[in-house]
A and B are shown apart, each in its own frame.
Chain A
Amino acid sequence: MRIRPLLVKEFVWSKRNVLALLVLLVAIPAVFAGASVGFQTVIPTDMPVGVVGADAGVTDDDLTIVEGAVTFFSDPVRYGSKTAAMDALRREQVYAVLEVPPNVGTQSDGRLDFTLYVDGSLVPFRETSKVITTNVNSRLSSSLPMDVQVSRTVVEPTHSLPEYLIPLLLFGVVALFAFTFVPYNLASERTALDRIRTESSLEALVMAKLVFFTALMVVPLAIFRLATGHFGYDIAVLSPGAIAALLLSFLLMATVAMAIMFLTRFSTSGRFVNVILLFGLFAFGGLIYPVGFFSSIRRAIARLIPVHYGMIVARSAMLKDVPPGLFAEWLGGLAVLVALAGIGLELTIVVYRRRSA
């Protein structure tokens, strides 16, 4: 066995592909190692908490006093009505809603009853919310002259961790398909593209692929439905909101993945970029844990990623009894982004045509 010449060949190859190796061996490990910092806050200190008056008798002064007390461990967001606050809770914009009784600023003795509403479907937050309740009680008791009682009320159905993970796993399958199989499929057909261009068009080709692959996503949905039924999970895998969120998210991701492939002329680097995007999505998209668990920077990054909202909609629609219109704005936003990504894909096709001229 003559290994040495082959080792030399590997060295020469590595020199020619030094950029890819640097990204793979230096940049990505550095980013992932850095990303781990975002998990250091197990009990968040600046988690968004909704603050809302219990009735019309609650004044702005009452709410301001309470906000000041809870700022120590959260980022309070004031809502004008309980409905708006509870909607924000369902949409994971806040992770708890503190209902404030009247006379916080004027009452000097007796007892005030606060209610902290938490979402029972957010399984990773369940234990944390108990600590938060204790914290709220402690801070308000030390800030206010009267007796304070904070009760924790769980709204929305309570789920097990496996049930909570189902939307995430399903979303993972969809993202994996969009960022790995779709680019592979497109690249494997590059040898047929010139004939497609003469007999039809690249636009027709990508449209057919998007329609077909989006329709294929029904298969994992059905598999998950069968599995959850088999295990007796109380989860609505096939709820319209979840299907819409997953399919729109898939369309968005698959369109972006295809655009990258056209831009890189179906090269290996294109597939590589797509895999990095997939990892980046899971590392920074706030898909697994509620994004309130992380640092403010990671939270800001997650909220810039459109499919983050798709994940919340899918999770909410599967785990909670949400009204149909609650996520209409986000689903509409995803649809608009799909259309914009389609325009972007068309531009990359134009660039591809020019470069292959």
Chain B
Amino acid sequence: MTDDRPDRAEKTNSTHSDGESPLAVEDLRQEYGPITALDGVSMAVRPGKIHCLAGPNGSGKTTLFRTLLGLTTPTDGRVRRPETTVGVGFQRPVYYPDLTVEENLDVFGRLMDSPGGQWRDHVTSVFGLERVGHRRAGALSGGFRKKLDLALAVLKRPRFLLLDEPLSDLDDVTQERLLEFLSEYAKAGNAILVSSHRIEDFASVLDRLIVLEAGQVVLDRSREYLDEQDTSMTGIYADLVGSP
């Protein structure tokens, strides 16, 4: 299995066909003492596509996310961030717990110069936040906290949207609604990177699958390539990481 890995990654171009630079990392290495969280990771997130970053727990997905966001300085390697807006949804929801949902949207909306108006109404509706708008965020259930975090991620209508484990804690209806939203958002020309340890969650919408295991990219292929394989996407993933 290990011998197959180099063949499973395509060479990535640094510029999208429409000229917009991707969000990319090259030969990224992240060490925490004796632990190597990322080991020579190269990948790119391009406009108009949904990229699914899959990998088992502890494979380095969150570390890669934080590095892409500049929250972690890599030990070695290069991060290229395009001069455009980047929105982020965190694995553990990030918001002001003492403010209400609406106040969080107001504060962060102003901070990010979000378009507001209809877009904000749309976002609030997609994530079903209307009925909890006046509730203190810290008192919300886990699911609503996640919804608030996702709403904050897309509030400024970013060109690049990075969502770390976005489906965790969400009910089935909201999961479906989020997947629809992501599809439309990518079709509008925006770049999306979602991480998940359950590949089947995004199998229906992803345009590119990147599999991370033990800090290394073991697969980076387009949907077309994956569809041509005899094995299903879940099967390929299980083959790479040992178990789904």
Contacts and interface: CB of A to CB of B under 8 A. Distances in A.
B and A form one assembly:
yes
Interface of A: 188-189, 191-200, 354, 356-357
Contacts of A194: 71, 90, 94
27 contacts: A188-B97, A189-B96, A189-B97, A191-B92, A191-B93, A191-B94, A191-B95, A191-B96, A191-B97, A192-B94, A192-B95, A192-B96, A193-B94, A194-B90, A195-B95, A195-B108, A195-B152, A197-B70, A197-B71, A198-B70, A198-B71, A198-B86, A199-B108, A199-B112, A200-B111, A356-B71, A357-B66
Interface of B: 66, 69-73, 86, 88, 90, 92-98, 108, 111-112, 152
A357 B88 contact: no
A198 B88 contact: yes
Contact of A357 (B71, B94, B96): B71
B72 A188 contact: no
A195 B73 contact: no
Nearest to A205: B111
A257 to B, nearest CB: 19
A189 B97 CA distance: 7
Contact of B94 (A188, A195, A200): A195
Given A189-B96, A200-B111, A195 B71 contact: no
B14 to A, nearest CB: 23
A357 B72 contact: yes
Given A191-B93, A195-B95, 17 more contacts: A188-B97, A189-B96, A189-B98, A191-B94, A191-B97, A192-B94, A192-B95, A192-B96, A193-B94, A195-B88, A195-B90, A197-B70, A197-B71, A198-B71, A199-B111, A356-B71, A357-B71
A271 B96 CA distance: 20
Contacts of B108: 195, 199
Contacts of A195: 88, 90, 94-95, 108, 152
Contacts, number: 43
Contacts of B66: 357
A165 B92 CA distance: 49
A331 to B, nearest CB: 34
A191 B94 CA distance: 5
A356 B94 CA distance: 15
A295 to B, nearest CB: 45
A199 B66 CA distance: 14
A189 B71 CA distance: 17
A194 to B, nearest CB: 5
Contacts of B69: 198
A199 B162 CA distance: 13
Contacts of A357: 66, 71-73
Contacts of B94: 191-195
A273 to B, nearest CB: 23
A308 to B, nearest CB: 35
A356 B174 CA distance: 31
A197 B108 CA distance: 12
B186 to A, nearest CB: 21
A79 B154 CA distance: 70
A193 B69 CA distance: 13
Nearest 3 pairs between A and B by C-beta? A357-B72, A195-B94, A192-B96
A109 B71 CA distance: 84
A192 B145 CA distance: 12
Nearest to A194: B94
Nearest to A200: B111
B115 to A, nearest CB: 15
A328 B93 CA distance: 49
Contacts of A193: 94
A200 B112 CA distance: 8
Of the candidates A191, A196, A200, A354, the one having the most CB atoms from chain B within 10 angstroms of its own CB is A191
Contacts of A192: 94-97
A171 to B, nearest CB: 28
A354 B30 CA distance: 13
Nearest to A356: B71
Contacts of B96: 189, 191-192
A200 to B, nearest CB: 6
Nearest to A204: B111
Contacts of B88: 195, 198
Of the candidates A189, A195, A198, A199, the one having the most CB atoms from chain B within 10 angstroms of its own CB is A195
Contacts of B152: 195
A133 B97 CA distance: 62
Contacts of A197: 70-71
A193 B108 CA distance: 12
A198 B95 CA distance: 12
Contacts of A198: 69-71, 86, 88
A228 B9 CA distance: 76
A349 to B, nearest CB: 13
A354 B152 CA distance: 25
Contacts of A356: 71
Contacts of B92: 191
A200 B156 CA distance: 13
Contacts of B73: 354, 357
Nearest to B89: A195
B124 to A, nearest CB: 18
A2 to B, nearest CB: 31
Contacts of A189: 96-98
A192 B92 CA distance: 10
A357 B67 CA distance: 9
B148 to A, nearest CB: 11
